[in-house]
Structure 1
Amino acid sequence: MAEIDRIDRKILKCLQEDGRIATVDLAEKVGLSPTSTSERMKRLQREGYIAGFGARLDPHRLGLELLVFVEVSLDKTTPDVFEKFAAAVRRAPEVLECHMVAGGFDYLVKTRVADMAAYRRFLGEILLALPGVKETRTYAVMEEVKSDGILPV
């Protein structure tokens, strides 16, 4: 994979801020022709720097008011149990993110639901039913301080 230069980084930064920016406008911002900018964007996609495009939705407008992080501990820490848990969590649309972590528990799960009653249903019907789950600890978010998800490039 080729290294990226200063212009590539500018392109990536601009695209993170506005994924729908017109190529002509992007070219102007980074100081290249539209053709060169388009070629660089295609290369950045092909090489995996740009993983995809999508819209950031407002969860509150969609009635998903409660953001929750959950520590998950498994009953065994074997490759087979890890694999089964990971496969099952990938099929759970309620799970926004899931990360295997080092430390006092095995996975950190992020979910967003309507309210505490909806979270209780998610916990009982989805999360605790995942293979190998021994114990969970829940952290309801009181305030989102920063959630723009923009990587420093």
Structure 2
Amino acid sequence: MAVDELDTRILRLLLEQPRTSVREYARVLGIARGTLQARLDRLERDGVITGTGPKLSPAALGHPVLAFVHIEVTQGHLDEVGDALAAVPEIIEAFSMTGGGDLLTRVVARDNGHLEDVIQRLIQLPGVVRTRTEMALRERVPHRLLPLVESMGRAAAEKQGKQAGRAAAEK
């Protein structure tokens, strides 16, 4: 979905000030509340906005160890293993992958011993052939979407500028 300059401004506010009211967002943006609500509804309907909950810190919740566990799966058992991963609370994300493993999971743990226990649990799942674990040392770039949104907004503004220039030239 393409976002325009106003969508970009809306998304920036949502990311930077997630606890602000719709009325306040409309005031800051200088647009009608109905216009803002229509935009928000469209962004949700199109799957751009997927949630509004708080961002939690596993480390602050007592799970400071972060590891990425690659899981190789017996052919034909990817769905079953994927479903089984959902029952492991320390797995906070899991993706089907190409390359060296079939699944990549993001795992949090209280300490290294707890991480080993989680990995042992994964190894015992039916359909798991082997795992490979890589421990994160320090987060260098936190999960972020604002730079992407801003670049899309700039591209949309440039496109609108070019279209307006062509339309003016044709007159």
Matched, 1:82 2:53: no
Structure showing greater Rg:
2
Aligned pairs for 1:4-153 within 5 A: 4-74=3-73, 76-78=74-76, 81-125=77-121, 127-151=122-146, 152-153=148-149
Runs of 4+ with deviation above 4 angstroms: none
Which stretch of the first structure deviates more once superposed, 143-152 or 130-139?
143-152
Amino acid of the structure 2 residue aligned with 1:35: G
Aligned to 2:159: none
Q: 1:17 Cα shift?
A: 2.6
CA distance in 2, matches of 1:122, 1:20: 35
Q: 1:98 Cα shift?
A: 0.7
Q: 1:8 Cα shift?
A: 1.6
CA distance in 1, matches of 2:102, 2:116: 21
TM-score by length of 1: 0.85
CA distance in 2, matches of 1:132, 1:29: 53
Which stretch of the first structure deviates more once superposed, 137-146 or 89-98?
89-98
8 Å CA contact 1:113, 1:119 repeated in 2: yes
Alpha-carbon RMSD: 1.9
Structure 1 gaps, min length 5: none
CA distance in 1, matches of 2:125, 2:14: 36
Amino acid of the structure 2 residue aligned with 1:28: R
Q: 1:3 Cα shift?
A: 4.4
Percent identity between the aligned chains? 30
Q: 1:72 Cα shift?
A: 1.0
8 Å CA contact 1:23, 1:37 repeated in 2: yes
Structure number with higher helix proportion: 2
TM-score by length of 2: 0.77
Structure 2 gaps, min length 5: 150-171
8 Å CA contact 1:17, 1:150 repeated in 2: no
CA distance in 1, matches of 2:28, 2:143: 21
